Amino acid sequence: LTKRIIPILSSGGVDAPYSENGQPHDTAPTSEQQAIIDAVQQGNSLRIAAFAGTGKTTTLAMIGQA
């Protein structure tokens, strides 16, 4: 497996991956989030390095839905 570190530099615009009713937000991934999703789907092992509020949890939810 290839290990990669992909920084998330911009906010995903959503501070939680799920709405109050427990349903996932219908939000398109940012370019950084899409790069992470693509890397995971290709079988890569990676670490997400990002500041608070930039969409790490949302990205994990997107990976789970992909």
Express each pLDDT in 6-39 by its tens digit: 655 554 444 455 565 555 556 788 898 999 999 9
pLDDT at residue number 14: 46
Question: Buried (b) or exposed (e) across 25-51, using 16+ Cβ within 10 A?
Answer: eeeebbebbebbbebbeeeeeeebebe
pLDDT of 5 > 90? The answer is no
CA 28 to chain centre: 11
pTM of the model: 0.63
